[in-house]
């Protein structure tokens, strides 16, 4: 095989199975489409079955309704994926939520609900999928962290969100080291400001957008396609010697 052929195939996922959580909208929907376009068989999971069905019709992915905070749902999701497609090679832990409220006013139940979805559920999905990856001796886990897991978001007030994403970064390192010698890689993808349901309020508010333009080295929101390369790098053999890392795509926000 020539160098040109090697490079062409480097980011391909032909013959592999990918599972994406939180795939009914936003970045998760894009991730499912990109992985499918790169040759993977994709299982797209989320709570909103109607949106998943639309994605399945458009992109040929397998839609499975799942609430990742429900332990039984998670076990069914993993079993369904393995039963239907035989294996899981790539896991993208994308499901997540945020709230914006001053720390002194945030109810404990709200803090717990953010941590439950963004950290505990992420760990459970990774644990369940990880058992299959460890048994087959290979796999790539991609956790959705955030630039908010690396630096404070103030004047945005997101104590629970920043705490949860910081935990994702640390959990990524721990799992990567535990599983590295058993063939399973674990990395994080940390976007900065991108258009999602969680940032709709900012997009519709000129003061917020002016704040981003004034403070971001690249003075704008990212566009969804600007995560494609990092996603495929982490999912494919292009990152075969990369584990325990957090790839930040934030327009330079954390470099300030």
Residue 221 CA from chain centroid, whole number: 18
pTM of full prediction above 0.75 = yes
User: H helices of 86-183, where?
Assistant: 108-115, 122-136, 159-179
Q: Residue 201: which CATH number?
A: 3.40.50.720
Residues of the domain holding 145: 3-247
Calculated CA dihedral for residues 100, 105, 110, 116, nearest 10 degrees: 80
> How many structural domains are present in the chain?
1
Residue 256, domain member (yes or no): no
Residue 231, domain member (yes or no): yes
**Measuring CA to CA, which residue among 43, 36, 34 is closest to residue 62?**
43
Residue 57, domain member (yes or no): yes
Per-residue pLDDT of the chain (256 residues; tens, 9 = 90+): 798 878 888 999 999 999 999 999 999 999 999 999 999 999 999 999 999 999 999 999 999 999 999 999 999 999 999 999 999 999 999 999 999 999 999 999 999 999 999 999 999 999 999 999 999 999 999 999 999 999 998 888 999 999 999 999 999 999 999 999 999 999 999 999 998 777 766 777 788 788 888 889 999 999 999 999 999 999 999 999 999 999 999 999 999 8
Taking the C-alpha atoms of residue 9 and residue 120, their distance in angstroms, rounded to an integer, is 35
Q: Are 232 and 34 in contact (CB under 8 A)?
A: yes
Q: Is 161 a catalytic residue?
A: yes
Residue from 31, 161, 179, 253 carrying the catalytic annotation:
161
Where are the extended beta strands (E) located within the chain? 17-21, 41-46, 62-65, 90-93, 139-144, 184-191, 246-249
Beta strand 184-191 pairing with 90-93: unpaired
Residue 94, domain member (yes or no): yes
């Amino acid at each position: 095989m020539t160098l040109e052929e090697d490079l062409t195939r480097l980011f391909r996922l032909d013959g592999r199975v990918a599972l994406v959580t939180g795939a009914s909208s936003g970045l998760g929907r894009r991730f499912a489409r990109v992985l499918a376009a790169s040759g993977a068989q994709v299982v797209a999971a989320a709570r909103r079955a109607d949106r998943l069905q639309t994605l399945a019709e458009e992109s040929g992915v397998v839609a499975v309704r799942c609430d990742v905070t429900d332990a039984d749902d998670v076990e069914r999701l993993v079993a369904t994926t393995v039963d239907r497609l035989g294996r899981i090679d790539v896991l993208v832990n994308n499901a997540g939520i945020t709230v914006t409220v001053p720390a002194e006013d945030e109810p404990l139940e709200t803090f717990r609900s953010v941590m439950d979805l963004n950290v505990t559920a992420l760990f459970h999905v990774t644990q369940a999928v990880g058992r299959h990856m460890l048994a087959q001796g290979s796999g790539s886990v991609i956790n959705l962290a955030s630039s908010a897991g690396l630096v404070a978001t103030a004047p945005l007030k997101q104590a629970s969100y920043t705490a949860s994403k910081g935990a994702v970064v640390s959990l990524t390192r721990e799992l990567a080291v535990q599983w590295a010698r058993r063939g399973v890689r674990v990395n994080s993808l940390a976007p900065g400001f991108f258009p999602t349901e969680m940032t709709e309020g900012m997009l519709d508010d000129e003061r917020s957008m002016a704040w981003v333009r004034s403070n971001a080295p690249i003075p704008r929101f990212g566009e969804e396609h600007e995560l494609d390369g990092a996603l495929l790098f982490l999912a494919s053999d292009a990152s075969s010697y990369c584990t325990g890392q957090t790839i930040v795509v934030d327009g330079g926000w954390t470099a300030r």
